[in-house]
Amino acid sequence: MTVLLFLVPLALILGALGLAAFLWALGSSQYEDLEGAAARILADDDLKERAP
């Protein structure tokens, strides 16, 4: 069972990374406009140069 001494902290660290990522996203206002962001992803402004 000594493997738990290694696995439990590892699992917790990975989970904490996910939590940190969520808190960062929340702090940088990424959840302020969910519907708008869903539509924005479809915009192809990065292809503008190739347009005629």
Calpha distance 30→20 (Å, rounded): 14
Cα separation values, 4 from 13, 15, 16, 38, Å: 14, 16, 18, 41
Calpha distance 33→50 (Å, rounded): 30
The binder of another protein chosen from 36, 47, 50, 52 (CB under 8 A): 36
**Please, which of residues 4-33 interact with another protein by CB under 8 A?**
4-5, 8-9, 11-12, 15-16, 18-19, 22-23, 26-27, 31-33
Q: Which residues bind another protein (CB under 8 A)?
A: 1, 4-5, 8-9, 11-12, 15-16, 18-19, 22-23, 26-27, 31-36, 38-40, 42-43, 45
